[in-house]
Chains A and B, each alone.
Chain A
Amino acid sequence: MKNITKIKGFLYICIILIFVSFIGLMPQSVYADSGLTVNNALILGEVNPGNNYTHSINVKLGTSAEATGIAIQIGGIGQTLRDQYQLLQASEDKSSYSAREYIKSDIANFYLEPGDSREVKFTLDIPKDVGVGGRYALIKVTTIPGEGETVGVITVVNIPVYLTISKTKLIHTGKIDAVSAEEAVTGKPVYILTTIENTGNHHYKVKGEVEIADSNGKLLDTVYVSLTSSIIPTMSRQLKATFIPKNELSLGIYNIKSKVTLEDGTLLDEATGTFEVKAPYVPPPAPAVVDLKPSTASALNTDDGRISIAFPQGSVLADAQISLRSNPPDQLPAAPVNHALGTTSFRVDGLTGLLLKPAAVKVKYSSADLAKAEGDPARLVLARWDEANSQWTVLKTSRDYNTQTLNTETNQFSLWAVLIGPAVSVPLVGASPSIASVTVPASNGGISWWVLAVVILLAGVIGVLLTSFILHKSKKHH
C-alpha cells in the first residue's frame, strides 16, 4: 500500500514537471507593457517566379496601452540618404523593382484592446515574368493618433519586404555620386560625406574608407565607416565619416579619397573630393592627455575611469604627449574573422614608435559590449588596429569579472576596440536568422526532424531506464 502511494506521488510529480515543461515551451514575453509589438516584422528571402507565399505577423498591444485602431498599409519603398524608410503610394511608386503589387493582406484595419493581439496574414503572388534581381516593398502597421491636447503620438512599425528572385543574376554595382565635407568648425570634428547609389538590381550593404591628405599629399588620417544596412536598387545612401584631426589644420585645401566596398571588400567605387579650411581650426580637445617622460612612470586615465593606460618608467626615450579620445564604434574597420565589433573603441595618439617597455591597458567593458557578447564576458577581447598592415591584432586579454575590466599589455598604440570573440559552444545548425522568412515557418520552430527523432529516442531510453529502476525498487520493497 505504501509503495502504491509512493508511485502515485511520483506520478503527481511527473505531471507537475510536464506542466512546468509546457509553460517553458510558451513564448517568453519580455516586452514593454504599454507598447506596440509586431512579431515577424521583416520579409526577407528568396522567391520563385510564379509561386505564392504567405507571411504572418502578430500585432500586439501592451496590457497598459490605450485601446487603438490599427491600420495596415502596403506600399512601395523609398530610402532616404540617412537610412529612413518611406512608404510610397501607388502614384509615387515608379520603381521597376517594386513588389508592392504582389502583396495583399487579409485585413486592412482592426481594433485592439489593451493586451489584445491579432494575426495578420499576407499573401505574396510572384508573377511568372517577375524578372531578375530583387523586389522591394514596405508594409506599415500604424496606430490611430490619441487625443493628446498638445502633442499627439502615433506609433508605427515598418515591415520591410526584401525579395530575391531565385536563380537570377544578381548585380551588385554602385556609383559614388558625391564626396564632400561639412564646414570645418574649430573644436568640432570634420564630417566627410560620401553618397553612394545602388546601380545594380539587388540590395547590398556597404562600408567605407576615407583618406584625408593635406595639399602636399601627406596622409593625415584614414577614417572607416562601418557596415550600413542594405541599400536597395536605385536608392542612395550618405556615409558620414568623422574626421578628428590629430593636430591643428592650417588654412587651405585638403584632399579626400573615398572608397566604398561591399561587405566582402569588393570595391564598388572610389572618388575624390576636397574641403577647405577657411578659418583657423583646432581639433576638439582629447578627453585624456598625459605628458610622458622617460624618467617617470605615468598613467593616462579617462575622466569616467573606464580606460586607463599605465606607462612604466623608461617606456619612452624622449618626452611625448599622449592623448586618448573615444572613437565612434560605427567608424571602425571591419572586425576580423570570427569576431564582431563591440561598442567600446578609442584612439591613442602621440607615440611615433614602439614603447621600450610595455604599457598596461585596462578597459572597463560596457553593458552594451556585454549584451553583444550575449552576456558572456569571456568572449570579450581587446584588439589593436595595425595601421601598417591594415588589420586587427587581437591581444591576449585577461578579464576581471568583479571590476568588469579587460587587461592587456602593449608596446604600440593606434585605434583600439573591444571585440566579441566566438561563442564557446558550436551551434548545432548553421541557420541564418535572416533568411527565408517568407515561407510558412515550420511548426517545430525550425528544428530539423532528425534532431527531434533523436531527442524522442533518447527520452524514450531514459524513460525506460528510469521506469524500470523505480518499479524494480518498488518490487524489492514488496
Chain B
Amino acid sequence: MISKFYVLFILLTVFFVLLSMNIILDSPVKAAEPSITITAPTEINSWELSPIGTQPKTTTGALSVVTTDADGLGWTIVATDYDTNTSGFMTKYTGGFYEVGTDLKSALQVSSEGGSVTLPGGGIIVSGIGNTNPQSDYTILFNQIVDWEDQPGTYRITVTFTGTLTP
C-alpha cells in the first residue's frame, strides 16, 4: 500500500506541477523572446509586360507577417533592391546574366496598404505595433510602367523584403 501511495503521490504532484507551469508559461509575464516570421511573396516567373494598354502593369503577391512576444515593440516590412546590377530597374537577363545598362525606363514600384515605394531605395510598405493576432496578411502590388522605347526581351529584378522588430 505504501509503494502505491508513493507512486500516486509522485504522479499527481508531477501532474499538478506541469499543469501549473503551463498556466504560468502561457502568461504574459514570461521572459520575452520576440520573434518575427515573414512569408514574402513567391517568386514571379511569368509576368507579361507590354507598352500596350493601361500603365502601369500590375501583378500581385501575398505577404504575411507574424510577430510574437513583441509587446511594446513596433515592426516594419521594407521593400528594397540591393542588387547593383539592377538598382531598382528591371534589367535584361539573358543566359543567367544581367545585361547591365539595358533596363526598363521606369523603376519598379512596390506597394501595399502601408505605402507605395519606388526601388531601389524603397521603404516601408507595411508596419504594425506589438503582436500580430495570429498573423497579418497583405496583398503586395508590383507596378511597372513599360515604355514604347523599352527593348523586347526578358527582364529580371530581385526584391528584398526585410522585417524588423523596432524597439
A contacts, CB < 8 Å to B: 7, 10-11, 14-15, 17-18, 21-22, 24-25, 30-42, 44, 58, 62, 80, 82-85, 145-158, 160, 162, 203, 229-230, 367, 371-372, 375, 427-429, 431-434, 437, 441-442, 445-447, 451, 455-456, 458-460, 462-464, 466-468, 470-471
Nearest CB of chain B from residue A154's CB, rounded to whole Å: 4
Complex interface: chain A residues within 8 A of B166 (CB): 83, 160, 229-230
Q: Is B100 an interface residue (CB 8 A)?
A: no
Residue in B21, B24, B35, B82 whose beta carbon sits within 8 Å of that of A37 in the complex:
B35
* A-B CB pair tally, cutoff 8 Å: 265
Complex interface: chain B residues within 8 A of A37 (CB): 35-37, 66
B159 with A158: CB separation less than 8 A: no
Residue in B8, B20, B70, B161 whose beta carbon sits within 8 Å of that of A153 in the complex:
B161
Residue in B1, B17, B130, B162 whose beta carbon sits within 8 Å of that of A372 in the complex:
B130
Name the 3 nearest CB pairs between A and B, nearest first: A148-B43, A446-B31, A459-B16
B15 with A21: CB separation less than 8 A: yes
B41 with A153: CB separation less than 8 A: yes
Instruction: Say whether, besides A21-B15, A42-B165, A447 and B30 are in contact (CB < 8 Å).
Output: yes
A160 with B167: CB separation less than 8 A: yes
Nearest CB of chain A from residue B61's CB, rounded to whole Å: 8
B159 with A153: CB separation less than 8 A: yes
A83 with B160: CB separation less than 8 A: no
Which residue of chain B is the closest to A432 with respect to CB atoms? B72
Q: Is B123 an interface residue (CB 8 A)?
A: yes
Which residue of chain A is the closest to B154 with respect to CB atoms? A149
A230 to B59, CA, bound (A): 35
A471 with B130: CB separation less than 8 A: no
Nearest CB of chain B from residue A431's CB, rounded to whole Å: 5
B163 with A84: CB separation less than 8 A: no
Describe A's contact surface by its main secondary structure: mixed
Q: Is B45 an interface residue (CB 8 A)?
A: yes
A455 with B17: CB separation less than 8 A: yes
Nearest CB of chain A from residue B66's CB, rounded to whole Å: 5
A147 to B93, CA, bound (A): 12
Complex interface: chain A residues within 8 A of B71 (CB): 433-434
Residue-wise, chain B 1-41 has the 8 Å CB interface mask toward A (1 for contact) of 10011011111111111111110110111111111111111
Residue in B34, B66, B165 whose beta carbon sits within 8 Å of that of A35 in the complex:
B66
Complex interface: chain B residues within 8 A of A157 (CB): 36, 38, 162-164
Q: Is B157 an interface residue (CB 8 A)?
A: yes
B44 with A427: CB separation less than 8 A: no
Describe B's contact surface by its main secondary structure: mixed
Complex interface: chain B residues within 8 A of A462 (CB): 12-13, 16
Complex interface: chain B residues within 8 A of A371 (CB): 130-133
B133 with A85: CB separation less than 8 A: no
Q: Is B56 an interface residue (CB 8 A)?
A: no
Instruction: Say whether, besides A160-B164, A229-B167, A463-B9, A82 and B32 are in contact (CB < 8 Å).
Output: no
Nearest CB of chain A from residue B84's CB, rounded to whole Å: 14
Determine the interface band of chain B, counting residues with CB < 8 A from chain A.
Answer: 35 or more
Which residue of chain A is the closest to B33 with respect to CB atoms? A40
Instruction: Say whether, besides A428-B29, A442-B31, A455-B24, A151 and B19 are in contact (CB < 8 Å).
Output: no
A21 with B18: CB separation less than 8 A: yes
B14 with A230: CB separation less than 8 A: no
Which residue of chain B is the closest to A460 with respect to CB atoms? B13
Which residue of chain B is the closest to A370 with respect to CB atoms? B133
Instruction: Say whether, besides A36-B38, A41-B165, A151-B44, A459 and B20 are in contact (CB < 8 Å).
Output: yes
A431 with B31: CB separation less than 8 A: yes
Residue in B9, B15, B160 whose beta carbon sits within 8 Å of that of A18 in the complex:
B15
Instruction: Say whether, besides A37-B35, A85-B164, A458-B20, A445 and B30 are in contact (CB < 8 Å).
Output: yes
Complex interface: chain A residues within 8 A of B76 (CB): 83-84
Q: Which of B8, B37, B71, B158 has the most CB of A within 10 A?
A: B37
- Given contacts A41-B36, A447-B24, A459-B12, list 4 more A-B pairs with CB under 8 A: A149-B43, A156-B162, A372-B129, A433-B32
A153 with B35: CB separation less than 8 A: no
B78 with A445: CB separation less than 8 A: no
B43 with A455: CB separation less than 8 A: no
Q: Is B64 an interface residue (CB 8 A)?
A: yes
Which residue of chain B is the closest to A423 with respect to CB atoms? B28
Instruction: Say whether, besides A25-B18, A25-B21, A160-B164, A82 and B12 are in contact (CB < 8 Å).
Output: no
Complex interface: chain A residues within 8 A of B5 (CB): 467-468, 471
Query: Can you list 12 A-B contacts with CB-CB less than 8 angstroms, sorted by A residue number?
Result: A7-B4, A38-B37, A148-B44, A150-B156, A152-B156, A154-B159, A229-B167, A367-B133, A434-B167, A446-B31, A447-B30, A467-B12
B112-164 contacts to A (CB < 8 Å): 122-124, 129-135, 142, 154-164
Complex interface: chain A residues within 8 A of B25 (CB): 25, 445, 447
Instruction: Say whether, besides A83-B166, A433-B34, A458-B16, A148 and B45 are in contact (CB < 8 Å).
Output: yes
Residue-wise, chain B 72-92 has the 8 Å CB interface mask toward A (1 for contact) of 111010100010000000100
